């Protein structure tokens, strides 16, 4: 039992970490920063090869510290001003000088991007400077550096699929039943998981900005304003939705505020934390209760992502983080293990079909929908209402239900993912020509 508890805590410490900006541009910037550091000097040319999923999620999302979007911009920022040892907070120290220098590289077409026909997390960045050429490869996880070269000489090499990547812990996680995970969360000493509240504080600060100022699409701001004007009722559902959407508004706009991520995604962290926190606020839950609810939310999110993959055609906020949030909400309301499993089934039956068409300000709408569904599914489960096992991909076993969800994602949605990317690339080209005044 103690070993299992230790594994849970280690997984949470690995997978629930601060991130500044969208994690896909951050991964590109991190690779560029490490490639530049390998040789030093001033960047002259940058070449980046990325997986289709990295490109899809990074091409249109806001980047902290600069009013531009794009994988090329992220790479230039990382090479010019990135802090190579800061992980997903690599761009934290970018100032106007660094931003202007990076934009100069992009405008001179000194940054080349190649999109590879491969899924998942993969970034291969070469940075040519006046001191030589550095290279960094990130694979399997947004911060997992598997290769660093300086002028063709290997200075770091590791297997991204081995122990350093955390895969062995995700594989262990798949051997544990959901009811066991719930019991483990109930029994872990509070002091070992109290760090979960850091995510509450961090993501609440981001959401507070989004509620106060119209940022990005302003989904959370508009809903909160409508609540104050009486157009929407000031109930828990609307508050949870507004709070979650506000966090996404700020993050997707590229505001320079870090969020607590989950399973490699900042939006997952927002979804896994803020709906649960909204419930905790309204029912005046203790810090102990909230820390356990958040731990359950994160661990279920990570469990599901171990089957669906880190990046896919399905919106991970809906099909993973919101399911985790639903579990955390049910936990706060005193649900037993069976009721928490029922919340998972309700969520899988409800919003599995939500696609991921890249990171962008519009993600706030998807997170708002996911937050509402999370609360709805938890409440239905508490009342004994659960989707029957003979409905669609729902199985009598909650573990098999999650595995079915994984099959829908991969291999089921691989062709869909290709089509989504093709449509996005086509839109980027035609919108520039036809929609400038829209």
pLDDT digit string (tens) for 330-351? 999 999 999 999 999 999 999 9
Do 139 and 239 fall within a single domain?
Answer: no
Do 267 and 342 fall within a single domain?
Answer: yes
Q: Please check whether residue 434 lies inside any domain of the structure.
A: no
CATH number, domain at 45? 3.30.1330
Do 52 and 198 fall within a single domain?
Answer: no
Where is the domain boundary, 163, 186, 216? 163
Mean pLDDT lowest among 41-50, 106-115, 421-430 = 421-430
Mean pLDDT lowest among 211-215, 230-234, 273-277, 424-428 = 424-428
Count up the domains in the chain and report the number: 2
Where is the domain boundary, 128, 163, 198? 163
Q: Is the pLDDT of residue 163 over 90?
A: no
Residue 408 vs residue 163, higher pLDDT: 408
Provide the percentage of residues in the chain whose pLDDT is more than 70.
96
Residue 254 vs residue 271, higher pLDDT: 271
Q: What is the pLDDT of residue 75?
A: 97
Do 159 and 211 fall within a single domain?
Answer: no
Q: Please check whether residue 232 lies inside any domain of the structure.
A: yes
Confidence of residue 167 (pLDDT cuts 50, 70, 90): confident
Q: What is the pLDDT of residue 311?
A: 85
Do 303 and 416 fall within a single domain?
Answer: yes
Query: Which distant-in-sequence residues (6+ apart) come within 8 Å of 24 by Cβ?
Result: 53, 54, 57, 58, 61, 142, 311, 359
pLDDT digits (tens, 9 = 90+) for 291-322: 999 999 999 999 999 999 888 899 999 999 99
Q: What is the pLDDT of residue 203?
A: 98
Q: What is the pLDDT of residue 310?
A: 83
Q: Is the pLDDT of residue 1 over 90?
A: no
Angle, helix 322-332 to helix 337-351, in steps of 10 degrees: 150
Confidence of residue 158 (pLDDT cuts 50, 70, 90): confident
Confidence of residue 166 (pLDDT cuts 50, 70, 90): low
Where is the domain boundary, 163, 198, 225? 163
Do 273 and 154 fall within a single domain?
Answer: no
pTM over 0.75, yes/no = yes
Query: Which distant-in-sequence residues (6+ apart) come within 8 Å of 386 by Cβ?
Result: 342, 345, 346, 380
Q: List the structure tokens of 195.
A: 């760090």
Q: Is the pLDDT of residue 275 over 90?
A: yes
Q: Please check whether residue 435 lies inside any domain of the structure.
A: no
Q: Please check whether residue 43 lies inside any domain of the structure.
A: yes
Do 239 and 325 fall within a single domain?
Answer: yes
The candidate with the shortest Cα–Cα distance to 351, out of 382, 375, 335, is: 375
Note down the domain range covering 418: 176-422
Do 362 and 250 fall within a single domain?
Answer: yes
Do 139 and 180 fall within a single domain?
Answer: no
Q: Please check whether residue 364 lies inside any domain of the structure.
A: yes
Do 269 and 155 fall within a single domain?
Answer: no
């Amino acid at each position: 039992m103690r070993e299992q508890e230790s594994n849970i805590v280690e997984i949470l410490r690995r997978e629930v970490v601060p991130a500044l900006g969208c994690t896909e541009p951050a991964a590109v910037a991190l690779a560029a920063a490490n490639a530049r550091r390998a040789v030093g000097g001033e960047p002259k040319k940058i070449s980046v090869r990325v997986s289709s999923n990295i490109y899809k999620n990074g091409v249109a999302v806001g980047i902290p510290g600069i009013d531009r979007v794009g994988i090329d911009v992220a790479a230039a920022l990382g090479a010019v001003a990135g802090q190579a040892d800061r992980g997903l907070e690599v761009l934290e120290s970018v100032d106007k000088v660094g931003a202007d220098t990076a934009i100069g590289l992009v405008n001179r077409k000194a940054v080349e991007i190649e999109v590879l026909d491969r899924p998942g997390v993969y970034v291969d960045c070469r940075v040519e400077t006046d001191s030589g050429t550095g290279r960094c490869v990130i694979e399997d996880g947004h911060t997992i550096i598997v290769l660093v070269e300086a002028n063709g000489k290997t200075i770091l090499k590791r297997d991204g699929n081995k122990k350093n990547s955390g895969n062995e812990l995700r594989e262990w996680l798949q051997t544990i039943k959901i009811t066991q995970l719930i019991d483990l969360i109930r029994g872990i000493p509070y002091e070992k998981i109290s760090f979960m509240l850091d995510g509450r504080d961090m993501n609440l600060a981001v959401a507070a900005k989004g509620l106060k100022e119209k940022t990005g699409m302003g989904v959370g701001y508009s809903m909160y304003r409508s609540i104050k004007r009486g157009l929407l009722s000031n109930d828990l559902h609307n508050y949870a939705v507004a709070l979650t959407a506000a966090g996404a508004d700020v993050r997707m706009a590229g505001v320079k505020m870090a969020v607590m991520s989950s399973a490699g995604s900042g939006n997952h962290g927002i979804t896994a934390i803020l709906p649960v926190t909204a419930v905790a606020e309204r029912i005046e839950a203790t810090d102990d209760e909230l820390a356990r609810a958040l731990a359950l939310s994160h661990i279920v999110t990570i469990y599901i992502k171990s089957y669906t993959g880190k990046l896919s055609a399905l919106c991970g906020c809906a099909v993973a983080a919101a399911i985790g949030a639903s579990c955390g909400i049910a936990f706060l309301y005193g649900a037993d293990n069976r009721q928490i499993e029922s919340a998972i089934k309700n969520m899988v039956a409800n919003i599995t079909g939500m696609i991921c068409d890249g990171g962008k300000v519009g993600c706030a709408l998807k997170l708002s929908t996911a937050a509402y569904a999370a609360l709805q599914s938890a409440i239905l489960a508490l009342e004994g209402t659960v989707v029957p096992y003979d409905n669609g991909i729902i199985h009598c076993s909650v573990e098999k239900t999650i595995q079915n969800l994984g099959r829908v994602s991969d291999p089921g949605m691989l062709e869909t993912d290709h089509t989504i990317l093709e449509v996005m690339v086509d839109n980027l080209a035609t919108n520039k020509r036809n929609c400038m005044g829209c």
